[in-house]
Structure 1
Amino acid sequence: MPVPTNVETLLSTQNIHYDLAAAPVDKDDRPLWHDEHLRKAGAARSVLLQDNISQVQVIFSADSLLDIEAVNRHLNRQLRALSDHDLNQFYETHQCQSIPALPQVAGLLTLVDKTLLDKDDLLLDSGDETQLIRVDSTQFQQTLTDAIVCELSTPLDPLENESDTSQDSEQVEGAIRGFTQLRIKQRLEETLELPPLSDTAQRIIKLRVDPDADISDLAQIVETDPSLAAQVVSWAASPYYSAPGKIKSIHDAIVRVLGFDMVLNLALGLALGKSISLPKDGPESELPYWQQSVYIAATIEGLVTAIPREQRPGFGMAYLTGLLHNFGALVMAEVFPPHYSQYCRLSEANPHASPQAIERHLLGISRDQIASMLMEMWGMPEEVVVGLRHQQNPSYQGENAAYAKLVYLAKALLRQHGIGRGPKHSIPDALFTELGLSREKAETTVQHVLESDEDLQHIASTLSPGA
């Protein structure tokens, strides 16, 4: 596919000499994902921002995080990333698959990150995901006549490096102390225990460690919480589980459909998820909290089932870890509300960056650190603590690593199908091998989840406040 017509015209008009560099392929002859290609090549990428005045184009390196506050300070405006609707309209109008990294390609005011000028040769997003434009620095600078060159980004690599778990407490406490001017509580314990666990959650946690607990004990706890009871019955009655006949009671839901372990972990996940209010703000186009949770949990459910029985991690623990995988986002919004809004705007402008990298840029800590510490304080199982803390690290090799790897894999697979925030990237063969999964079975699992989209959305809608 040739580069978009407006890109070709601009390069020709400005007499820019360039080459095209095709996207490399993996061992199965599949091109790298576009985000992955740009990042590995250190290519320039582009983003469109807007406010009530006009749109603005910003060009920066794909291995950097765009600091949207720096852009706003420079222009004295309140810009944010284009909505998905407006972005798709741009793609349709200009017949491209991504935003070309050339100044004024759409006739917009353009800002260019100064670090790009330090390179002798540059690779630029062409607007066609199968190839990049290669130019030397002199040629690129010819395109900057009407552009504003300034410092707008920070390197991503340091933000993506996970710190040692032993540093979590110190880093979280430091972040909280650093924001005392925002009237955030001084002591970590006070901050993270707001609000306190519900009676239902406390009773389920106690039941989990009781070796003599049975179905009647669990049913009794669930039945005392009308909202939770209704959700468990609704879950069991969903077409997703194809239960024969009507679900008449909690006991029926446990015995005939979901099983003791499933209901125990489902009830605990729901109780914890509702212990903190859902944030009113959120990145544009991000799935609602419960929809994210249901998609990841359902994907992990299928992945665990596909793993040979002798290698299979605990089904209930894996499911619960998936259901709570994004719990840290709720905590971040609760503990750092002004900065959560900043996170949302940065996330919109940096779809190539993980939420954790953006949070480290803003706060010095990630949602995974704070969520895993909270789970540990609440006496949650070690499998969940480890799974949440290391879900971004497919190379983690500690005890209970399988739970973290399952969350990582589920998120990566769903992102390749456009579900969830963060860059699309290749999944290493080693991860499938370590989990005892074939790539084909994992893909089949995701296809089943995608085909069950309507059922899963219905389940998620029953978990949301006011449902």
Structure 2
Amino acid sequence: MPLPTSVESLLNSQNIHYDLATAPVDANNQPLWHDQHLRNVGAAKAVLLEDEKGRILAVISADTLLDLNAVNRQMDRELRATNQDAVRQFCDTYSLQSVPALPKLAGLPTLVDKQLLRRESLLLDSGDDAQLLHINRDDFQQVLEDAIICDIATPLDPLEVDISAERDEEQILGAVRNFTQLRIRQRLEETLELPPLSETAQRIINLRVDPNADISDLAQVVETDPSLAAQVVSWAASPYYSAPGKIKSIHDAIVRVLGFDMVLNLALGLALGRSLSMPKDGPEGYLGYWQKSVYMAATIEGLVTAIPREQRPTFGMAYLSGLLHNFGFLILAELFPPYFSQYCRMTEANPHSTHQPIERHLLGVTREQLASTLMSLWSMPDEVVVALRHQNNPRYQGEHHQYAKLIYVAERLLLQQGVGLGPKLEIPASVFADLHLDPDKAQATVTNVMESLDDLDHIALQLSPR
């Protein structure tokens, strides 16, 4: 397959010698996801940045994190990632699928991370997802010519190491001490100064551990909060569930559509989600909190159903974990407001990275650590605490690991469909095996969810604050 014409013309005009490296295929003979391929081989990739003075190009290795603060210090500017529509327009102009790591293509001022020049030869994003450019260091330097060589990236690997959960409180306190004005108190929940758990949520948690709780008890608790009751009824009445007739009450929602376990966990997830404010800022492309929660819960609902009954985790716990999977994002915005905007801009500049390395780089703590710690303080079920803490660790094998892996699979399946914010990455076969989940059935699940997005958006709209 030939290179994009614009790239080939540039290389030929500079007498650059190069080879092409074709993207490998996976076990199903499908091309590896472009983000995954670049990361696996540490290929050079390009990021378009801009401010009111114009655009620049930053070239880094795909196994590093672009440090936007370092770029702005180097340039004495306030650059941020070019928005996605403009990047697509740029690529369309030059008939590209991605921005090549070749600065002369558009004549843009360029910064190149100096780690790249330590290599004898390099693989570069060619602008064509199916192949990379293989070029030696001398030819690469010739292409760079007037580029500024500097330190603008940090390796991803150390930032992706998941420390023991036993150190979470220590790291949270460190982040609070370094990045907030909060006073360190004897108890962590007092230090964080987060809103207390609502009375409704407390009553639902108590109901969860009451072996004698029945439909009437649950309906009574939910109906004491009219707003929550309306949300649960709206959820059950959604076209997504195709319930016959009108759903007029919590009792109807339980008996006719959702069942006791699901309404219990749904109500708890909704009550907790309303305990913190929705952030006013967010990375470009970020799905609203409730929209993402609804998509994830629906996907996990389908995945659990696809697991053989004898290996199937508890449906309600899995569903609740999906609803709350991104609760830590709300905590980040609440605890670190001056740094939250900085986090959003870093996320936009690093679309090839998951969020954890960015959070560790900026704050020294992740949303997963924050969310699971708070859930534990609120006496939430261990299944949920584990799911939120280890949702991005496919190697976790401790108790309740299935709940964490369900979130992991659901999120990656949705990202592969272009839903959500983050790179498209493969799902290890070992994760499917641990869940006793057939990959084809998992794919069928996300296909069904994609076909139901309008109905799911209707649910999310009813939940979002107006």
Range into which the TM-score falls when normalised by the shorter chain: over 0.9
- Equivalent position SS for 2:103: coil
Alignment of 1:267-278 (within 5 A): 267-278=267-278
Cα distance, 1:193 vs structure 2: 4.8
In structure 1, what is the Cα distance between the partners aligned to 2:66 and 2:367? 20
Task: Assess if the C-alpha contact under 8 Å between 2:24 and 2:31 holds in 1.
Answer: yes
* Corresponding residue of 2:215: 215
In structure 2, what is the Cα distance between the partners aligned to 1:108 and 1:191? 47
In structure 2, what is the Cα distance between the partners aligned to 1:283 and 1:69? 16
Task: Assess if the C-alpha contact under 8 Å between 1:184 and 1:335 holds in 2.
Answer: no
Output one character per residue of 1:395-454: Cα deviation in whole Å (capped at 9) or x when no partner: 110000000000000001111101112221111222112111111110110000000000
* Corresponding residue of 2:349: 349
* Corresponding residue of 2:130: 130
Task: Assess if the C-alpha contact under 8 Å between 2:229 and 2:250 holds in 1.
Answer: yes
Whether 2:325 is the aligned partner of 1:332: answer no
Task: Assess if the C-alpha contact under 8 Å between 2:45 and 2:124 holds in 1.
Answer: yes
- Equivalent position SS for 1:143: helix
Task: Assess if the C-alpha contact under 8 Å between 1:192 and 1:374 holds in 2.
Answer: no
Task: Report the residue type matching 1:186 in the other structure.
Answer: I
Task: Report the residue type matching 1:461 in the other structure.
Answer: L
Alignment of 1:342-421 (within 5 A): 342-421=342-421
* Corresponding residue of 2:184: 186
Task: Assess if the C-alpha contact under 8 Å between 1:204 and 1:268 holds in 2.
Answer: yes
Cα distance, 1:92 vs structure 2: 1.1
Cα distance, 1:9 vs structure 2: 1.3
TM-score (norm 2): 0.98
Output one character per residue of 1:348-406: Cα deviation in whole Å (capped at 9) or x when no partner: 01011111110000111110011100000000000000000000011110000000000
- Equivalent position SS for 1:339: helix
Task: Assess if the C-alpha contact under 8 Å between 1:332 and 1:367 holds in 2.
Answer: yes
In structure 2, what is the Cα distance between the partners aligned to 1:213 and 1:175? 41
Output one character per residue of 1:252-295: Cα deviation in whole Å (capped at 9) or x when no partner: 11110011111111111011111000110000011111111111
Tell me the percent identity.
66
* Corresponding residue of 1:86: 86
Q: Give the aligned CA root-mean-square deviation in angstroms.
A: 1.0
What 5-or-longer segments of structure 1 have no aligned partner? Answer: none
* Corresponding residue of 1:201: 201
1:193/1:208 CA distance change after superposition, 3 Å: farther
Task: Assess if the C-alpha contact under 8 Å between 1:191 and 1:335 holds in 2.
Answer: no
Task: Assess if the C-alpha contact under 8 Å between 2:279 and 2:333 holds in 1.
Answer: yes
Task: Assess if the C-alpha contact under 8 Å between 1:61 and 1:116 holds in 2.
Answer: yes
Task: Assess if the C-alpha contact under 8 Å between 1:96 and 1:127 holds in 2.
Answer: yes
Whether 2:422 is the aligned partner of 1:422: answer yes
In structure 2, what is the Cα distance between the partners aligned to 1:166 and 1:186? 19
Cα distance, 1:55 vs structure 2: 1.1
In structure 2, what is the Cα distance between the partners aligned to 1:134 and 1:175? 42
- Equivalent position SS for 2:284: coil
* Corresponding residue of 1:289: 289
- Equivalent position SS for 1:310: helix
Task: Report the residue type matching 1:278 in the other structure.
Answer: M
In structure 1, what is the Cα distance between the partners aligned to 2:191 and 2:346? 25
Output one character per residue of 1:318-375: Cα deviation in whole Å (capped at 9) or x when no partner: 0000000000000011111111111100100101111111000011111001110000
In structure 2, what is the Cα distance between the partners aligned to 1:190 and 1:346? 30
Task: Assess if the C-alpha contact under 8 Å between 2:285 and 2:420 holds in 1.
Answer: no
- Equivalent position SS for 1:101: coil
* Corresponding residue of 2:298: 298
Alignment of 1:131-170 (within 5 A): 131-170=131-170
Alignment of 1:423-442 (within 5 A): 423-442=423-442
Task: Assess if the C-alpha contact under 8 Å between 2:394 and 2:408 holds in 1.
Answer: yes
- Equivalent position SS for 1:149: strand
What 5-or-longer segments of structure 2 have no aligned partner? Answer: none
In structure 2, what is the Cα distance between the partners aligned to 1:104 and 1:49? 15
* Corresponding residue of 1:11: 11
Task: Assess if the C-alpha contact under 8 Å between 2:51 and 2:79 holds in 1.
Answer: yes
In structure 2, what is the Cα distance between the partners aligned to 1:383 and 1:338? 33
Task: Assess if the C-alpha contact under 8 Å between 2:182 and 2:192 holds in 1.
Answer: no
How many residues get paired?
464
In structure 1, what is the Cα distance between the partners aligned to 2:214 and 2:422? 41
Task: Assess if the C-alpha contact under 8 Å between 1:185 and 1:191 holds in 2.
Answer: yes
1:279/1:185 CA distance change after superposition, 3 Å: farther
TM-score (norm 1): 0.98
Task: Assess if the C-alpha contact under 8 Å between 1:228 and 1:270 holds in 2.
Answer: yes
